[in-house]
Amino acid sequence: MIKNNALKLYGETLSSRLLLGTAQYPSPQILIGSIQSSATQVITVSVRRESGTSRDGQRFWQLLKQSNCKILPNTAGCRTVKEALNTAQMARELFNTDWIKLEVIGNDDTLQPDVFGLVEAARELCQQGFKVFPYTTDDLVVGEQLLAAGCEVLMPWGAPIGSGRGLQNPKALESYRHYFPEIPLVVDAGIGLPSHATQAMEIGYDAVLLNTAIADSGQPTLMAKAFAHAIEAGRFAYLAQPIAQRDMAQPSTPVAGTPFWIS
> Cβ distance 224 to 218 under 8 Å?
no
Farthest-apart Cα atoms in the chain, separation: 87
> How many Cα atoms are found within 13 Å in the side-chain-facing hemisphere of 228?
18
Residues with Cβ within 8 Å of residue 220, at least 6 apart in sequence:
25, 26, 30, 31, 33, 34, 214
pLDDT confidence of residue 221 = 97
Mean pLDDT for each 10-residue chunk of the chain (263 residues)?
73 96 93 96 82 60 84 94 96 94 93 96 98 97 98 97 94 97 96 98 97 96 98 96 84 65 57
pLDDT confidence of residue 1 = 39
Helix (H, G, I), strand (E, B) or coil at 133: strand
Angle at 72 between CA 98 and CA 111, to 5 degrees: 115
- The yes-or-no answer on residue 101 being catalytic is yes
Q: Exactly one of 8, 70, 101, 171 is catalytic; name it.
A: 101
pLDDT confidence of residue 142 = 98
pLDDT confidence of residue 51 = 52
pLDDT confidence of residue 252 = 75
Q: Which run of H or of E encompasses 70?
A: strand 70-74
